[in-house]
Amino acid sequence: MIQALAALLGASLTVAACYATGVLLLERLGLTLKRTEQPPLAFILGAACFHLAVFAVLAAHVAYWPVLVALCLVPIGGALAKGAWRLRGEAEAPLDYSIKRLSLVLFGLFSLLYLFHAWAPEASPDGSGYHLGYVSRYVRAHGFEWVTTNMYAALSAGVEMLYVPAFAIGRHSAAALVHFAFLIALAMAIFAYGRRLGKPWVGAAAAFLVFASPVVGIDGTTAYIDVAVAAVVFAVFYFLELWDEGRNPGALVAVGLLAGYAYATKYTAFVILPFTLLFVLWRARKLRPAITVLLYSILMVAPWMVKDYIVLKDPVAPFADTVFRNPFFHPMFESEYKELLSGPGYGITDKRTLPLEVTIRGAHPQGLLGMAFLGAPIALLALRFRAGRRLVACGVVMAALYFTNVGTRFLIPCLPFVALAMALALSTEKEKLAPVLALAMLFHAYTSWPSQLEHTASPGAWKLDNKILYRQALRLMPQERYLRESFAGYGAAMLVDSAVPKGERVLAMGEVPQSYTARDILISYQSAFNERLVDTVNMGWADGFQARVADKFSFPERTSTRIRILQTANPGDAHFQWGVHELRFFDKGVEVPRRPEWRLKAWPNPWDVQLAFDNNPATRWRSWEVAVPGQYVDVDFGRPEAVDEVRVEHAWDYKTKLELQEFAGGAWSKLADTPRSSPIEPPAFLRKAATRELLRSGIHYLLVGDGDFASQDIRDDPEFWGLTQIASGSGIRIYRVVP
Amino acid sequence: MALRRAATSRAAAKAPRKVRYSSLTVNVRLLSNLALLSPALLSLAACKNMPEAYAPPDQMAPITMSRTYRITHVINMDDGDAESHFVQDIRGLNGNWRWTGKRPTARVPVRSADNLHLVMDFAIADATFKTTGPVKVTVYVNDKLAASLSCPEPGERHLDTPLPPGLVEPNKDAVIAAEIDKVWVSPTDATELGFILKRIGLTQE
């Protein structure tokens, strides 16, 4: 029960701090909102500012829980002292009794379901994996850590910053409850927008379409961030409308802060910023208001870009790796990651199936919007209203990047606009079509309730369970038991904590929910370092990764100071990269010893060039981007060296073409381009060479899922690998690397 | 006086333009210049990340291996993925063992058929032995007889015997079944219990 109360306290304090910050800022900006607008918009605006305060505390490495509590109490105290809490704006016209009654029942039912789900122990994959993974890490470290081995730590984390104080007080569930607060705020804001339009039925129906959408329900009640992103984006739109109505410059400040915060919450939400700038330019016909928006947005964007540039040399890490070259993320990973998320990674090969997948089935794109959204095209009828045109325009902008990631939850940020436009399309001047909207709400409630989804959604769709988790939320069922029974990853995380000493890093071939372990888990694909080590492990056993061919370039003995191998072919394969296991030089059949004076270079991926010169058959230099002509590995001997043969050892590869070049007289000239190829047998110690490389890289523990690529080979003879199995269970095995 | 006014107006012209937004004051010119400069600064930053050349690293010496790689296809009953190998008659986990029925059967992947041994750790429980008396366990691999073991008394048993050649094929699953001749039958619900199984599978010599 104490865990339940702590979660509630952590969330309440964070939400209250956001709201207090928001009302203080609204007062300072001279913005007076209507009574129904103030709570959601103040909360969201306050969240934007409060996230910067948490960012500063983490940057200063003083994120101890008393500091975080004080950070929450300062704005709360300030707002109380100034009396800013009270609703100051004008009251709207009273609501129709039928709206009140229907909304109370429908929102009440879903709120009950959602509240207990959010309050229950966190068992969502991404929430417990990375959203809270690095939140828990920062809380343990009392500040930001230089995380270069986890791409998710590179993403902007504007919502996760709010999870920090909540988590410090109430752990995982507190963070999920903060996200749930965003869901409520979003619904309230949509409702308020409808009332501002003079169409409360439109507001109520649209708010409910969003609120009860199954993917919104599960996302907004876990420690994900998508619903918060949607709330922020909608708040940008709302303040834009307020500015357009009254031309209060203070509204532009709010717009700028929130548009910047949208980027801070999720990279893909940055599209709201250009939309905002264009809208302001169009409406004001002046540059200055747009500059104001831009400047305030930079306040929110800059900390994240600067942090990424300092830590990862790339302000938009893990993206744009070919512009901001860095040793932490591979361009090949970036391109393959984008390709996977655009469909294949979800098992979607035919995008024509998407409308049914994202509305009804939900298994492939991980979640469903609800059957009612099959009627989304009706939103186009709202184009007859000015508000409708604006809503549709903003919705289209927010959906612009959807095909870069076809997961259903990536549609959540455009959902408020679509829902409002759909409801608006069904409205008339005097809301004569209110019964249609009421029926739409009832239909959506019926088809989106978890028990009904059991019949209509595909098995495996990401959605809420058909039960109200009050026993789990109130911890009447112990948290430990619930997590062990319902979340396989939890057991794995506990196993890691019990088997691996503190401070050790674990190379993981599979996934582990990082927020439940205090060990540093290096998941296979999440950084260049991890990918390189996994490549090494795979070289230990999989022949496709091993050096199997030696290309020998022979020529009359000559004295050279600098030689390079140039790749000249264009394989035209977006997944093919060039690699060199070892590059050796010979004279009269004897290998020229590698001297410390040699200077090695490679392009691309210059950071790993030493791997082609370490005499370890389980390492290799790879381009880690698509093989194209012009890529090279270059050796400057530092003095004239007699050479008559150059040997390039690499994996089976029929796509590259190599040319040997010598640097003389200030230019490169061809030495040879027709090597003799001969097969290589990998040495018996290859597996052990792989684990030696792990040790050399500071990795003493290896986590392998029972279904992972190398699992069978390692478990068949761990001793031969130089590994000792120290724990197994929950679908994983943990090995210690034997020194 | 006129001079002072002119100086003041020149100073005013040079002073940064400030715009008041409610009670916040913004230096628009300075900040807009910074905003316009930021893309240029970012693009400059893109060029700064490349390393200098590296020296060759320490050279790895070959490692002497005292034996060859041995394949072990043994399913421990408490393995995380154990149940994915079960075919029939193996019940829920109790610690590191499971009750079996009459013919517990499991499927194991085989990557090499050379020099394989059949291994099984199991136990005859006192409680069932009181009813069944001495029992015989016969092991089949791909439905062909591989080994048999008489158990005249209760207790733990370890089987490790070379697998006759030709019973398995490399890169195909092998189905291992261990049949007990007499089972204990529950008088209440007719549940059949064979023996206690801890591990079963193939290893390579």
Report the interhelical angle of A38-59 vs A158-196 (nearest 10°): 170
The Cα B196–Cα A516 span in angstroms is 35
Question: How large is the C-alpha radius of gyration of chain A?
Answer: 29
Conformational region of residue A680, where left means phi above 0, alpha means psi within -120 to 50, and beta covers everything else: beta
Burial of B40 (0-12, 13-18, 19+ CB in 10 A): exposed
Amino acid at the residue A16: A
Residue A34 pLDDT > 90: yes
| Residue type at position A538 | N
* Interval A557-581 mean pLDDT: 95
Give CA–CA dist A635/A731, Å, rounded: 46
Cβ-based contacts under 8 A for chains A and B = 141
Instruction: Report pLDDT for B45.
Output: 60
- Closest Cβ opposite residue B59 in set A288, A594, A597: A594
Task: Find the residue in B nearest to A541 (Cα).
Answer: B69
Amino acid at A592: V
The minimum CA-CA distance between B143 and chain A, rounded to whole Å, is 24
- Is the pLDDT at A415 greater than 80? The verdict is yes
For range A188-216, the mean pLDDT: 96
pLDDT score at B35: 59
Cα of A337 to nearest chain B Cα, Å: 22
Mean pLDDT of A261-290: 96
Q: Is the per-residue pLDDT at A201 higher than 50? A: yes
Question: Which of residues 108 through 147 in chain B touch A, CB cutoff 8 A?
Answer: 109, 111
When pLDDT is cut at 50, 70 and 90, the band that residue B60 belongs to is very high
Shortest Cα distance from A107 to chain B (angstroms)? 37
**What span, in angstroms and rounded, lies between the C-alpha atoms of A469 and A474?**
9
Q: How much is the pLDDT for B31?
A: 57
What's the gap in Å between the CA of A457 and the closest CA on chain B?
Answer: 27
| Rounded average pLDDT over A81-94 | 85
Mean pLDDT of B173-187: 94
pLDDT band at A434 (very low <50, low <70, confident <90, very high): confident
Per-residue pLDDT tens for B113-149?
A: 888 999 999 999 999 999 999 999 999 999 999 999 9
* pLDDT value of residue B42: 60
Percentage of chain B lying above the pLDDT 70 cut: 77
Q: Summarize the confidence of residues A527-545 as an average pLDDT.
A: 97
Check: CB of residue B91 under 8 Å from CB of residue B98.
Answer: yes
pLDDT value of residue B10: 44
> In the beta sheet, which residues pair with residue B184?
B193
What is the per-residue pLDDT for A88?
81
Question: Is the pLDDT at B11 greater than 50, yes or no?
Answer: no
A27 reaches B (C-beta below 8 A): no
Query: Starting from the edge strand earliest in sequence, which strands make up the sheet with A505-508, in order?
Result: A520-523, A505-508, A701-705, A732-737, A723-729
Residue A435: how many other CB atoms lie within 10 Å: 11
How far, in Å, CA of B78 to CA of A297, rounded? 55
Q: Which residues of A touch B21 (CB under 8 A)?
A: 29, 249-250, 252-253, 292
H helix intervals, A60-96: 65-82
User: Which residue would you say has higher pLDDT here, B27 or A442?
Assistant: A442
In chain A, residues 702-731 whose CB comes closer than 8 Å to chain B: 706-707, 712, 715-717, 720, 728-731
Least confident of A152-166, A710-724, B47-61, B119-133: B47-61
Residue-wise pLDDT for A102-149, tens only, equals 999 999 999 999 999 999 999 999 999 999 999 999 999 999 999 999
Shortest distance, CA A144 to any CA of chain B (angstroms): 22
Q: Say what the pLDDT of residue A505 is.
A: 96
pLDDT in tens, A60-77: 999 999 999 999 999 999
Residue A182 has pLDDT above 60, yes or no: yes
Give pLDDT, residue B1: 40
Mean residue pLDDT of chain A comes to 95
3-state secondary structure of B190: coil
* Distance of alpha carbon A413 from the chain centroid: 15
Q: What's the one-letter identity of residue A627?
A: A
Indicate the residue of A294, A298, A731 with minimum beta-carbon distance to B80: A731
- B-proximal residues of A, 617-636, CB under 8 Å: 636
d(CA A478, CA A733): 26
A575 touches chain B (CB under 8 A): no
Nearest to A237 by CA among A44, A25, A20, A15: A44
Question: What proportions of chain A, in percent to the nearest 5, are helix, strand and coil?
Answer: 55, 15, 30
State residue B21's pLDDT score: 46
Q: What is the pLDDT of residue A686?
A: 97
Q: Rounded to a whole number, what is the distance in angstroms from the first to the last CA of chain A?
A: 46
Determine which of B17, B20, B24, B205 to mutate to test the interface with A (most A C-beta atoms within 10 Å). B24
Pairing of strands A577-580, A667-672: unpaired
- For the segment A224-242, the average pLDDT, to the nearest whole number, is 98
The answer to whether B108 touches B76, Cβ cutoff 8 Å, is no
Q: Do A295 and B35 touch (CB under 8 A)?
A: yes
Amino acid at A397: V
**A417 has pLDDT over 70:** yes
Tell whether the model's pLDDT for residue A181 goes beyond 50: yes
Residue in chain A nearest B46 by alpha carbon: A324
Nearest CA in chain A to B22: A29
Q: How far is A693 from chain B (nearest CA, A)?
A: 10
Structure tokens at B57: 């690293």
Vertex A102: Cα angle to A101 and A107 (nearest 5):
110
Q: Which whole number is the average pLDDT over A609-630?
A: 97
pLDDT surpasses 70 at B6: no
Model confidence at B30: pLDDT above 70: no
| pLDDT at residue A169 tops 50 | yes
Question: Is the Cα torsion angle A256, A258, A263, A268 positive or negative in sign?
Answer: negative
Q: Is the pLDDT of residue A617 over 60?
A: yes
B58 part of contact set with chain A, CB < 8 Å: yes
